[in-house]
Chains A and B, each alone.
Chain A
Amino acid sequence: MPEPETGLDTVRIIVDAEKQAAKIIEDAKAEAVAIRKRIDGVIQEQREKTLAETRKEAAYIAARGKQEAKAETEKFEKESAQALEELVTKASAKKNATVDKLVGIVLQVEK
Protein backbone atom coordinates (compact mmCIF):
# COMPACT_ATOMS: atom_id res chain seq x y z
CA MET A 1 0.00 0.00 0.00
CA PRO A 2 1.48 3.43 -0.95
CA GLU A 3 2.41 5.73 1.89
CA PRO A 4 0.49 9.07 1.77
CA GLU A 5 2.44 12.14 1.06
CA THR A 6 -0.26 14.64 1.92
CA GLY A 7 -3.45 14.73 3.97
CA LEU A 8 -5.40 14.52 0.77
CA ASP A 9 -3.55 11.33 -0.13
CA THR A 10 -4.46 9.88 3.23
CA VAL A 11 -8.12 10.65 2.65
CA ARG A 12 -7.95 9.18 -0.84
CA ILE A 13 -6.28 6.00 0.44
CA ILE A 14 -8.90 5.61 3.14
CA VAL A 15 -11.73 6.26 0.67
CA ASP A 16 -10.22 3.63 -1.68
CA ALA A 17 -10.00 1.19 1.20
CA GLU A 18 -13.61 1.90 2.11
CA LYS A 19 -14.63 1.35 -1.53
CA GLN A 20 -12.66 -1.91 -1.58
CA ALA A 21 -14.29 -2.98 1.67
CA ALA A 22 -17.75 -2.13 0.32
CA LYS A 23 -16.96 -4.16 -2.80
CA ILE A 24 -15.80 -7.13 -0.70
CA ILE A 25 -19.10 -7.03 1.18
CA GLU A 26 -21.13 -6.55 -2.01
CA ASP A 27 -19.32 -9.52 -3.58
CA ALA A 28 -20.00 -11.60 -0.49
CA LYS A 29 -23.69 -10.64 -0.63
CA ALA A 30 -23.81 -11.54 -4.32
CA GLU A 31 -22.10 -14.84 -3.51
CA ALA A 32 -24.66 -15.47 -0.74
CA VAL A 33 -27.50 -14.85 -3.19
CA ALA A 34 -25.82 -17.23 -5.67
CA ILE A 35 -25.43 -19.88 -2.93
CA ARG A 36 -29.13 -19.57 -2.04
CA LYS A 37 -30.13 -19.74 -5.69
CA ARG A 38 -27.91 -22.79 -6.23
CA ILE A 39 -29.47 -24.62 -3.32
CA ASP A 40 -32.99 -23.82 -4.61
CA GLY A 41 -32.03 -25.45 -7.90
CA VAL A 42 -30.46 -28.44 -6.13
CA ILE A 43 -33.52 -28.90 -3.91
CA GLN A 44 -35.88 -28.63 -6.88
CA GLU A 45 -33.82 -31.17 -8.81
CA GLN A 46 -33.65 -33.49 -5.82
CA ARG A 47 -37.41 -33.19 -5.31
CA GLU A 48 -38.21 -33.97 -8.94
CA LYS A 49 -35.83 -36.93 -8.97
CA THR A 50 -37.12 -38.37 -5.69
CA LEU A 51 -40.78 -37.87 -6.61
CA ALA A 52 -40.29 -39.35 -10.09
CA GLU A 53 -38.79 -42.47 -8.49
CA THR A 54 -41.58 -42.52 -5.92
CA ARG A 55 -44.26 -42.23 -8.59
CA LYS A 56 -42.69 -45.16 -10.42
CA GLU A 57 -42.80 -47.19 -7.21
CA ALA A 58 -46.41 -46.08 -6.61
CA ALA A 59 -47.37 -47.18 -10.12
CA TYR A 60 -45.71 -50.54 -9.47
CA ILE A 61 -47.61 -50.89 -6.18
CA ALA A 62 -50.90 -50.05 -7.95
CA ALA A 63 -50.19 -52.54 -10.76
CA ARG A 64 -49.22 -55.23 -8.25
CA GLY A 65 -52.39 -54.44 -6.26
CA LYS A 66 -54.50 -54.93 -9.38
CA GLN A 67 -52.74 -58.21 -10.17
CA GLU A 68 -53.24 -59.45 -6.62
CA ALA A 69 -56.89 -58.38 -6.72
CA LYS A 70 -57.37 -60.23 -10.01
CA ALA A 71 -55.66 -63.35 -8.69
CA GLU A 72 -57.63 -63.27 -5.46
CA THR A 73 -60.90 -62.69 -7.32
CA GLU A 74 -60.18 -65.55 -9.72
CA LYS A 75 -59.31 -67.84 -6.82
CA PHE A 76 -62.47 -66.84 -4.98
CA GLU A 77 -64.62 -67.28 -8.10
CA LYS A 78 -63.15 -70.72 -8.74
CA GLU A 79 -63.78 -71.80 -5.16
CA SER A 80 -67.27 -70.37 -5.07
CA ALA A 81 -68.14 -72.00 -8.42
CA GLN A 82 -67.01 -75.36 -6.97
CA ALA A 83 -68.96 -74.74 -3.78
CA LEU A 84 -72.05 -73.80 -5.78
CA GLU A 85 -71.74 -76.90 -7.93
CA GLU A 86 -71.54 -79.03 -4.79
CA LEU A 87 -74.51 -77.24 -3.28
CA VAL A 88 -76.59 -77.78 -6.43
CA THR A 89 -75.59 -81.44 -6.62
CA LYS A 90 -76.43 -82.08 -2.97
CA ALA A 91 -79.73 -80.16 -3.18
CA SER A 92 -80.71 -81.91 -6.42
CA ALA A 93 -80.19 -85.27 -4.72
CA LYS A 94 -82.62 -84.17 -2.01
CA LYS A 95 -85.31 -82.90 -4.39
CA ASN A 96 -87.47 -86.05 -4.43
CA ALA A 97 -87.45 -86.43 -0.67
CA THR A 98 -88.30 -82.74 -0.30
CA VAL A 99 -91.20 -83.00 -2.74
CA ASP A 100 -92.51 -85.98 -0.74
CA LYS A 101 -92.24 -83.97 2.45
CA LEU A 102 -94.08 -80.95 0.99
CA VAL A 103 -96.82 -83.14 -0.48
CA GLY A 104 -97.15 -84.77 2.92
CA ILE A 105 -97.60 -81.39 4.58
CA VAL A 106 -100.24 -80.26 2.07
CA LEU A 107 -102.11 -83.55 2.19
CA GLN A 108 -101.84 -83.63 6.00
CA VAL A 109 -100.05 -86.95 5.88
CA GLU A 110 -97.31 -85.45 8.02
CA LYS A 111 -98.52 -84.26 11.38
Chain B
Amino acid sequence: MSETSRFTEDILTSAKSKADAIIREAEAETQRASDEARGAISREAEAIIRNAKAEADATKRREVSEARHLSKIREQREKDKIMLDVMDRAKKRVLETIGDDAKYIPMLTRLIESGIHELGEKSAMIHLNERDLRNISSLELRVNKTLTGDVKVEVSKRPIEASGGAVISSQNGKIRMVNTLDQRFEALESKLLVEARKSLFGQ
Protein backbone atom coordinates (compact mmCIF):
# COMPACT_ATOMS: atom_id res chain seq x y z
CA MET B 1 0.00 0.00 0.00
CA SER B 2 1.40 3.40 -1.02
CA GLU B 3 1.85 6.32 1.31
CA THR B 4 -1.06 8.10 -0.36
CA SER B 5 -3.29 5.12 0.14
CA ARG B 6 -2.39 4.87 3.82
CA PHE B 7 -2.89 8.57 4.22
CA THR B 8 -6.34 8.53 2.60
CA GLU B 9 -7.21 5.39 4.56
CA ASP B 10 -6.32 7.21 7.78
CA ILE B 11 -8.49 10.17 6.76
CA LEU B 12 -11.46 7.89 6.14
CA THR B 13 -10.88 5.79 9.30
CA SER B 14 -10.68 8.93 11.38
CA ALA B 15 -13.87 10.27 9.73
CA LYS B 16 -15.69 6.97 10.41
CA SER B 17 -14.50 7.02 13.98
CA LYS B 18 -15.76 10.61 14.38
CA ALA B 19 -19.04 9.64 12.71
CA ASP B 20 -19.42 6.70 15.11
CA ALA B 21 -18.76 9.03 18.04
CA ILE B 22 -21.37 11.47 16.74
CA ILE B 23 -23.94 8.68 16.43
CA ARG B 24 -23.03 7.22 19.85
CA GLU B 25 -23.31 10.66 21.42
CA ALA B 26 -26.72 11.19 19.76
CA GLU B 27 -27.89 7.76 20.98
CA ALA B 28 -26.62 8.39 24.50
CA GLU B 29 -28.25 11.79 24.50
CA THR B 30 -31.57 10.38 23.31
CA GLN B 31 -31.33 7.63 25.93
CA ARG B 32 -30.87 10.27 28.65
CA ALA B 33 -33.70 12.34 27.20
CA SER B 34 -35.89 9.26 27.03
CA ASP B 35 -35.14 8.35 30.67
CA GLU B 36 -35.80 11.92 31.80
CA ALA B 37 -39.00 12.07 29.75
CA ARG B 38 -40.20 8.75 31.22
CA GLY B 39 -39.61 10.16 34.71
CA ALA B 40 -41.40 13.40 33.89
CA ILE B 41 -44.36 11.57 32.32
CA SER B 42 -44.55 9.28 35.31
CA ARG B 43 -44.54 12.26 37.70
CA GLU B 44 -47.17 14.02 35.61
CA ALA B 45 -49.36 10.92 35.63
CA GLU B 46 -48.92 10.50 39.39
CA ALA B 47 -49.94 14.13 39.89
CA ILE B 48 -53.11 13.59 37.80
CA ILE B 49 -54.04 10.51 39.85
CA ARG B 50 -53.20 12.26 43.11
CA ASN B 51 -55.40 15.23 42.16
CA ALA B 52 -58.23 12.94 41.09
CA LYS B 53 -58.07 11.10 44.43
CA ALA B 54 -57.93 14.36 46.37
CA GLU B 55 -60.87 15.70 44.36
CA ALA B 56 -62.85 12.49 44.96
CA ASP B 57 -62.12 12.65 48.70
CA ALA B 58 -63.06 16.33 48.80
CA THR B 59 -66.33 15.61 46.97
CA LYS B 60 -67.13 12.85 49.45
CA ARG B 61 -66.28 15.01 52.46
CA ARG B 62 -68.25 17.98 51.04
CA GLU B 63 -71.38 15.96 50.28
CA VAL B 64 -71.37 14.11 53.60
CA SER B 65 -70.74 17.36 55.45
CA GLU B 66 -73.63 18.98 53.57
CA ALA B 67 -75.89 16.04 54.44
CA ARG B 68 -74.78 16.31 58.07
CA HIS B 69 -75.54 20.03 58.07
CA LEU B 70 -78.99 19.52 56.54
CA SER B 71 -79.70 16.77 59.02
CA LYS B 72 -78.77 19.10 61.90
CA ILE B 73 -81.11 21.75 60.49
CA ARG B 74 -83.94 19.19 60.18
CA GLU B 75 -83.32 17.98 63.71
CA GLN B 76 -83.28 21.53 65.07
CA ARG B 77 -86.49 22.34 63.18
CA GLU B 78 -88.25 19.30 64.68
CA LYS B 79 -86.97 20.15 68.15
CA ASP B 80 -88.12 23.76 67.77
CA LYS B 81 -91.56 22.54 66.68
CA ILE B 82 -91.85 20.29 69.73
CA MET B 83 -90.55 23.01 72.06
CA LEU B 84 -92.96 25.56 70.64
CA ASP B 85 -95.87 23.16 71.03
CA VAL B 86 -94.91 22.40 74.64
CA MET B 87 -94.49 26.11 75.49
CA ASP B 88 -97.86 26.92 73.87
CA ARG B 89 -99.59 24.11 75.73
CA ALA B 90 -97.99 25.14 79.01
CA LYS B 91 -99.08 28.75 78.53
CA LYS B 92 -102.57 27.63 77.61
CA ARG B 93 -102.73 25.41 80.68
CA VAL B 94 -101.55 28.24 82.93
CA LEU B 95 -104.18 30.58 81.48
CA GLU B 96 -106.82 27.87 81.85
CA THR B 97 -106.21 27.80 85.59
CA ILE B 98 -107.65 31.33 85.75
CA GLY B 99 -111.09 29.89 85.15
CA ASP B 100 -110.65 27.25 87.82
CA ASP B 101 -110.84 28.95 91.22
CA ALA B 102 -109.79 25.82 93.03
CA LYS B 103 -106.44 26.04 91.27
CA TYR B 104 -106.19 29.73 90.52
CA ILE B 105 -106.87 31.20 93.95
CA PRO B 106 -104.10 29.19 95.67
CA MET B 107 -101.76 30.10 92.84
CA LEU B 108 -102.65 33.79 93.01
CA THR B 109 -102.20 33.66 96.76
CA ARG B 110 -98.71 32.20 96.29
CA LEU B 111 -97.84 34.90 93.72
CA ILE B 112 -99.00 37.63 96.07
CA GLU B 113 -97.16 36.12 99.02
CA SER B 114 -94.00 35.74 97.07
CA GLY B 115 -94.32 39.33 95.79
CA ILE B 116 -94.80 40.66 99.32
CA HIS B 117 -91.85 38.63 100.51
CA GLU B 118 -89.63 39.88 97.68
CA LEU B 119 -90.79 43.45 98.22
CA GLY B 120 -89.52 43.30 101.82
CA GLU B 121 -91.58 46.32 103.00
CA LYS B 122 -93.71 46.75 106.11
CA SER B 123 -96.73 47.48 103.96
CA ALA B 124 -97.72 46.45 100.48
CA MET B 125 -100.31 47.41 97.88
CA ILE B 126 -101.76 44.59 95.77
CA HIS B 127 -102.94 45.35 92.23
CA LEU B 128 -105.29 42.86 90.53
CA ASN B 129 -107.26 42.60 87.31
CA GLU B 130 -110.98 43.31 87.30
CA ARG B 131 -112.08 39.69 87.67
CA ASP B 132 -109.82 39.06 90.65
CA LEU B 133 -110.93 42.28 92.29
CA ARG B 134 -114.47 40.86 92.34
CA ASN B 135 -113.23 37.77 94.20
CA ILE B 136 -111.16 39.81 96.61
CA SER B 137 -112.85 38.66 99.80
CA SER B 138 -111.75 35.04 99.58
CA LEU B 139 -108.32 36.08 98.39
CA GLU B 140 -107.68 38.56 101.18
CA LEU B 141 -108.66 35.96 103.67
CA ARG B 142 -106.17 33.47 102.31
CA VAL B 143 -103.34 35.96 102.05
CA ASN B 144 -103.89 37.24 105.55
CA LYS B 145 -104.11 33.75 106.88
CA THR B 146 -100.91 32.51 105.33
CA LEU B 147 -98.72 35.59 105.62
CA THR B 148 -96.24 35.59 108.43
CA GLY B 149 -94.96 38.72 110.13
CA ASP B 150 -96.81 41.97 110.35
CA VAL B 151 -96.94 43.27 106.76
CA LYS B 152 -99.87 45.61 106.22
CA VAL B 153 -101.58 44.56 103.00
CA GLU B 154 -103.94 46.78 101.03
CA VAL B 155 -105.69 46.04 97.73
CA SER B 156 -105.84 48.76 95.11
CA LYS B 157 -109.33 49.43 93.78
CA ARG B 158 -108.03 50.23 90.31
CA PRO B 159 -107.85 47.12 88.13
CA ILE B 160 -104.73 46.32 86.12
CA GLU B 161 -104.55 44.95 82.57
CA ALA B 162 -103.40 41.35 83.00
CA SER B 163 -104.75 37.86 82.35
CA GLY B 164 -104.06 36.92 85.96
CA GLY B 165 -101.62 37.23 88.79
CA ALA B 166 -100.84 40.41 90.65
CA VAL B 167 -98.59 43.43 90.91
CA ILE B 168 -97.34 44.08 94.43
CA SER B 169 -95.99 47.52 95.11
CA SER B 170 -94.78 49.58 98.04
CA GLN B 171 -97.33 52.07 99.35
CA ASN B 172 -95.75 54.95 97.41
CA GLY B 173 -95.61 52.80 94.26
CA LYS B 174 -91.85 53.27 93.85
CA ILE B 175 -91.04 49.57 94.19
CA ARG B 176 -93.10 47.11 92.15
CA MET B 177 -92.98 43.34 91.98
CA VAL B 178 -94.77 42.30 88.81
CA ASN B 179 -96.13 38.81 89.35
CA THR B 180 -98.75 38.73 86.59
CA LEU B 181 -99.01 35.50 84.64
CA ASP B 182 -97.93 37.15 81.38
CA GLN B 183 -94.89 38.67 83.03
CA ARG B 184 -94.02 35.43 84.78
CA PHE B 185 -94.12 33.62 81.49
CA GLU B 186 -91.92 36.26 79.92
CA ALA B 187 -89.50 36.38 82.85
CA LEU B 188 -89.30 32.63 83.11
CA GLU B 189 -89.10 31.98 79.38
CA SER B 190 -85.40 31.19 79.24
CA LYS B 191 -85.67 28.97 82.32
CA LEU B 192 -88.71 27.24 80.85
CA LEU B 193 -86.88 26.65 77.59
CA VAL B 194 -83.91 25.14 79.42
CA GLU B 195 -86.17 22.91 81.51
CA ALA B 196 -88.23 21.87 78.50
CA ARG B 197 -85.09 21.03 76.49
CA LYS B 198 -83.71 19.03 79.40
CA SER B 199 -86.97 17.18 79.93
CA LEU B 200 -87.69 16.51 76.24
CA PHE B 201 -84.24 15.86 74.83
CA GLY B 202 -82.10 15.30 77.88
CA GLN B 203 -79.89 18.30 77.03
Contacts and interface: CB of A to CB of B under 8 A. Distances in A.
Interface of A: 1, 3-4, 10, 13-14, 16-18, 20-22, 24-25, 27-29, 31-33, 35-36, 38-40, 42-43, 46-47, 50-51, 53-55, 57-59, 61-62, 64-66, 68-70, 72-73, 76-77, 80, 84, 87-88, 91-92, 94-95, 97-99, 101-103, 105-109
Nearest to A49: B41
Contact of B5 (A1, A22, A47, A53): A1
B12 A106 contact: no
B90 A47 contact: no
A97 B79 CA distance: 16
Interface residues of B, number: 75
Contact of B67 (A39, A62, A76, A109): A76
B201 A91 contact: yes
A21 to B, nearest CB: 3
B15 A43 contact: no
Given A32-B23, A84-B71, A107-B110, A57 B64 contact: no
B59 A69 contact: yes
Given A31-B26, A65-B56, A97-B199, A24 B12 contact: yes
Contacts of A107: 94, 97, 103, 107, 110
A105 B53 contact: no
Contacts of A22: 15
Interface of B: 2, 4-5, 7-9, 11-12, 14-16, 18-20, 22-23, 25-27, 29-30, 33-34, 37-38, 41-42, 44-45, 48-49, 51-53, 55-57, 59-60, 62-64, 66-68, 71, 74-75, 78-79, 82, 85-87, 89-90, 93-94, 97, 103, 107, 110-111, 114, 181, 184-185, 188, 191-192, 195-196, 199-201
A32 B56 contact: no
Given A24-B15, A35-B27, A102 B195 contact: yes
Contact of B78 (A39, A40, A55, A84): A84
Contacts of A77: 67, 71
A16 B48 CA distance: 58
